Structure 1
Amino acid sequence: MLSALKRSLQSKPSSQEIQANILAGLTVGVIALPLSMALAIASGVPPQHGLYTAIVAGIVIALTGGSKVNISGPTAAFVVILLPIVQEFGLGGLLISGFMAGIILIMMGVGRLGKFIEIVPYPVTVGFTAGIGVVIATFQIKDFLGLGIESLDGHYVDKLMAIVYALPSVEWKETLIGVLTLAVLLVWPKFRSKVPAHLIALLVGSILAWLLTLYVPGFSVATIGSYFSYDIDGLSGSGIPPILPAFAWPWNLPGADGTPIGLSFELIRQLLPAAITIAILGSLESLLCAVVADGMSGKKHNSNDELIGQGIGNLISPLFGGLPATAAIARTAANIKSGGSMPLASVVHSVFIVASILLLAPLLSYIPMASMAALLLLVAWNMSDAKHFVRTLKVAPRDDVLVLVLCFLLTVLFDMTVAVAVGIGLAGMLFIRKSIGLTQASMIEGDHADYDLPDSTVVYDINGPLFFGSAQKALRAITAVRPEIRVVILDMSEVTLLDMSAIVAMESIAHELQGRSVGMVIANLQPRMILKLERAGIQTQSGSIAFSATLDDSFDAAKGMLQ
């Protein structure tokens, strides 16, 4: 982390690079401003907390992380995790869980676990991200259609049924604004304008709603200003407070009942699973974003430094009212395309949001909730990556399709923690099953044309890794030799792995063959694996056990045992 911060502060860019990064930061700031508010609303908290996340985490992670171009802040992937936390533990519980996730991320980085994140199988990643997209989209139907639902509680099926039962209460005014906003979001990119589509869409939705409210009797829609209010240090109002984030311990903030949540071991125990999930998802998304950014920018990130930087950002962000944060792929891609090449761009993006809070807070209050829902519907669609999901279903092996579908369903019906745990576990089991099939032990008898061996000698050619899943299967037949066999040769030139289960199996075979006065010659085994066997007690014994470097030497050793 210190090396990453030192690199950030000691770099000496040219004036052209500084100018390019300032412009890139302003571009990303325009993109991040409405997204940060929308993602905070989707997570069940007032929109300013999303802005605080982009400000604090955007600066801290950029200066301490392992990527020069990543833009960090609130992301859509966290929504399905954060919303249940807010519903059960309130804002205070959410910020405490983010603080705990920061500690876990730092421990992962210090433990140099950055590379281990890459072992998460592709079907697991696609499955849970598509599931998250479906869940986010489902939750936006309420505001998009103006349904008369006070709150969406319970599991996914309960929330879905509540939406279905409320469909007769569709409000045409909200739907009109939502549909028009979504239409602009879809059509504007076709003009290839440098102005982000969501900025134009929210402007159109807000201006249209404002004009219709002025000139159409009885027309009104829910806006950020009518939906949220604040009362901070004697300053009260509606919408977003025009003040900077202030320091406050998370445990002094309100829980689900509106009173300070406090801090206790029991609360930490209850929030620990959520904190672990936030840390795992944050590490996955940030490192995936860094890999994508490397491909686009030609730079190289440090995965462990990136985890530490993400951890520091998630430690500090909750102290200023910020949500859990991670690197955002869309914002990072926009940064690189706009000329961003150093952490300065992320800092400028955060400063832009600070200026927006101070200068534009009253105007931001006019954004309709239906327009925010339309923006999140598009975010959910992009996140679901439907093309890759369908392509995986079509071309992937059957086992991978099973993992993909299971992760998707578990994410939607239960939660992402269960989906990732079950998905990785199932993928691991299926991989072990495939690996077991790759390990074989075939017998080559003495009368084989390639070998000049006595009939009392048999050769087993062992191929593949010998581990807890394959050792017993591959070595089981070795002891089932005919009574006249006096020497068994094991050609282990293609054995790539030998774990403790295989060592125990080899030890059992050696004892059984010794009890029947049958010699065993181990040929072509790698020296490091021979050392493992010798440590376990399988050592050279005259007339009983021998090691040979080549197959020809093993034949000589076998003849010596027979004599």
Structure 2
Amino acid sequence: MRWTGRFAGYNTSSFRKDLISGLIVGIISIPLGMAFAIASGVKPESGLYTTIAAGIIISLFGGSKFQIGGPTGAFIPILFAIVMQYGYENLLIAGFLAGIMLVLMGLFKLGALIRFIPQPVTIGFTAGIAVLIFSGQIANFLGLGGIKKHENFLPNMYEIVLHITTLNIYSIITAGISLAVILLTPKVLPKIPGSLLGLIVSSVVAALFFKGDVATIGSSFGSIPNTLPQFHFPDITWDRVETLLRPALIIAMLGGIESLLSAVVADGMTGSRHNSNRELIGQGIANMAAPLLGGIPATGAIARTATNIKNGAVSPLSGIIHGAVVFLILILFAPYASHIPLASMAPILMFVAWNMSERKKFIRILKLKTTDSAVLLITFLLTVFTNLTTAVVIGLISAVIFFVKRMGEMMTVSKVLPDPHHKHEKVKSNMVSEGHDCPQISIYTIEGPLFFGAANTFEKSIMDTDQPRPNILLLRMGKVPFIDTTGESNLAGLVKRFKQSGGTILISGIKPQPLDVLKKSGLYAQIGADHLFEHTGEAINYALTLLDRTKCLGCKQFAFRECTGLSNSEA
């Protein structure tokens, strides 16, 4: 049988590698799936259903050969807020709508656009989410009782302070054992998943010595069924759709961003190249399917994808096997999972939060002390103290404002004249002085994009001058890569004022994009095709033919090499 596409060159050896990597990632995904579900405010089995359904579908239809999909930590604050505000049934609907949005994003080829979100924004909200995940597990780590869960960070921290006297020493010991095993396993037994071993060891210790003294999944959420749920299509009404559009859009955007980031990481590790639009479609189908089985929203999981690659995966089959492994373990061992203490799972989520915090990149951007540092802090603080929607929107707006400001500052307008000592008489700004400047011809070099953020600077630099206005204005635009409608409007105003006063405007070296804008707006015709030149030298030679020779008589500025002859009355 001849394999093509993502299975090109596939053989028995490839299958063996996929089987091993799928088995390992499947085992790792079980505690994470349950932990993410519990932290999101839903039952642990929802996380397992998501791991199975979304994991298989993302591997089948996604755009990356190595992507492992499922519930992730990044979704926790969002899903928890949706559950608190709208309820579990509406979370399923929001997830389904998000799936539709992701499919549409892929079909309209918006995959590349998501990657244009600035790094300070993504690192800011990722670090903020990490803080929320970590802080959300403090109560389970300490075994605090009577805790009421809130949507926002500060009320949750107040709950911990208010109930700190209810801490449970048995929960702390259980959580401490789990954390110690998670930290030591990579050093002692590097091939065994630390989170799984920590969960097992601490659960066994708690069952033997602290039975009934620590809260478990069973005592908090009931026993985990060892079957998949029945197919259930949520009751979608137009009123619900209108209410849940915003939460669904947040899920879709975050899911798209994280899945594509994960695919990029996979590309970097393997030298492969993913299809971003196909990846969005695969993610969308998975998020439409998962809610029908009681699952929560899913996306590409960076850590599990990296683990998949490190263990030798060669095709999407490893992701399919990972979902099948979780299904088999659910069928065979689900009743035992009900005895897992919540304190055993708290360190797993804390460790996930620590790893996803992007702390090194966070500190590096802060040390730069630039506008990017401000965007990072704004996004981070708003994620922690308000919500992800506000954080991302204001973070993006801040990034755009700072970017426009920086681009506007890049625009420079300098008055220049030819340097007679240079071989080709190259124009330079330092040649212009009070005693060396042509009264009739002004030459300006414009550098940078001529857009709404810089158009005012451009106009002021030329018009606001104490010198008498020249008859001829030569604009060197060879270093203007882009012009927008505002820039074109300012240039048009400059041309109009010069023409009204009887002056002439010449342009040299204009690039294709600005030239195209001038042609479409009609400004090209107003300036005149004979007033646009490819080279500055040609434009200067033409300008010299337009001089009022009577004004040149006796002039001692000698701005051009021709001035010596022109100022001589006998000549």
Mark yes or no: TM-score above 0.5.
Answer: yes
Q: Please tell me whether residue 134 in structure 1 is matched to residue 119 in structure 2.
A: no
Partner of 1:409: 381
User: Which residue pairs with 2:566 in the alignment?
Assistant: none
1:245-394 matches, cutoff 5 A: 245-251=229-235, 263-394=236-367
Confirm or deny: 8 A CA contact 1:446 1:456 kept in the other structure: no
Q: Tell me, in whole angstroms, the C-alpha distance in 2 between the residues paired with 1:557 and 1:534.
A: 22
- The CA distance in 1 between the partners of 2:458 and 2:80, in whole Å, is 50
Matches of 1:372 and 1:201, distance apart in 2: 9
Q: Is the 8 A contact 2:144 2:168 kept in 1?
A: yes
Determine if the alignment matches structure 1 residue 17 to structure 2 residue 17. no
User: Does the 8 Å contact 2:443/2:474 carry over to 1?
Assistant: yes
Deviations 1:247-303 (CA, angstroms, capped at 9, x unpaired): 10122xxxxxxxxxxx33332222111111111111111111111101111211011
Q: 1:464 aligns with which of 439, 442, 448?
A: 448
Change in Cα spacing, 1:528 to 1:213, as seen in structure 2 (3 Å) is closer
Cα RMSD after superposing both structures? 2.1
How do 1:92-171 residues align onto structure 2 when only pairs under 5 Å count? Answer: 92-171=89-168
Partner of residue 199 from structure 1, selected from 184, 196, 199: 196
Q: 1:484 to 1:346 in 2, by over 3 A?
A: closer
Contact 1:519–1:545 (CA under 8 A) maintained in structure 2: no
Unpaired runs of at least 5, structure 1: 230-238, 252-262
CA contact (8 A) 1:462 1:491 kept: yes
The whole-number CA distance in structure 2 between the counterparts of 1:335 and 1:192 is: 18
Q: How many Å separate the matches in 2 of 1:240 and 1:489? A: 79
How far off is 1:43 after superposition? 0.4
Q: What CA deviation, in whole Å up to 9, does each residue of 1:345-364 have, x standing for no partner? A: 01100001110111001111
Q: Identical aligned pairs, as a percentage?
A: 40
Q: How far does residue 388 in structure 1 lie from its aligned partner after superposition?
A: 2.6
Q: Tell me the distance in 2 between the aligned counterparts of 1:447 and 1:32.
A: 70
* Residue 154 (structure 1) shift: 4.3
Shift of 1:384: 1.3
Q: How far apart are residue 447 of structure 1 and its match?
A: 9.7
Match for 1:487 among 441, 449, 472? 472
Equivalences, count: 533
1:529 and 1:150 map into 2 onto residues whose CA distance is 62
Describe the superposition over 1:156-207 as per-residue Cα deviations: whole angstroms up to 9, x where unpaired.
1111111111101111111111111111111221114311111111111111
For the residues of structure 1 that align with 2:105 and 2:225, how far apart are their CA atoms?
36
Whichever of the two has the greater Rg, that structure is 2
Residue 532 of structure 1 and its aligned partner are, at CA, apart by 1.5
Secondary structure in 1 matching 2:115: helix
Structure 2 contact 147–159 (Cα < 8 Å) conserved: no
1:321 counterpart letter in structure 2: G
Q: 1:399 to 1:16 in 2, by over 3 A?
A: same
Deviation at 1:378, TM superposition (A): 1.1
Deviation of the 1:45 alpha carbon = 0.4
Q: 1:326 to 1:429 in 2, by over 3 A?
A: same
SS where residue 523 of structure 2 aligns? coil
Aligned partner of residue 152 in structure 1, secondary structure:
coil
Q: How much does 1:488 deviate? A: 0.3
Give the structure-2-normalised TM-score. Answer: 0.89
CA–CA distance in structure 2, aligned partners of residues 381 and 220 of structure 1: 28
Shift of 1:527: 3.4
Provide the C-alpha distance between the structure 1 equivalents of 2:70 and 2:89, rounded to a whole number of angstroms. Answer: 19
CA offsets 1:104-139 (integer angstroms, 9 cap, x no match): 111211121111122212211111111111111111
Is the Cα contact below 8 Å between 2:70 and 2:301 reproduced in 1? yes
Correspondence 1:527 to 2:512: yes
What residue in structure 1 maps to residue 28 of structure 2?
31
SS at 2:524 equivalent: coil
Structure 1 window deviating more from structure 2 (475-484 vs 363-372): it is 475-484
CA distance in 2, matches of 1:228, 1:534: 69
> What are the superposed Cα offsets for residues 64-100 of structure 1, whole Å, 9 maximum, x if unpaired?
1110000000000000100011112221111111111
8 Å CA contact retained: 1:462, 1:492: yes
Question: Residue 419 in 1 paired to residue 396 in 2?
Answer: no
Deviation at 1:367, TM superposition (A): 0.7
Alpha-carbon spacing, 1:541–1:281, altered in 2? closer, same or farther (3 Å): closer
Deviates more, 1:533-542 or 1:38-47: 533-542
Alpha-carbon deviation of 1:542?
8.3
Aligned counterpart in structure 1 of residue 402 of structure 2, from 408, 427, 430:
430
Verify: 1:228 aligned to 2:221, yes or no: yes
Mark the CA change 1:448 to 1:266 in structure 2 (over 3 Å): closer, same or farther. farther
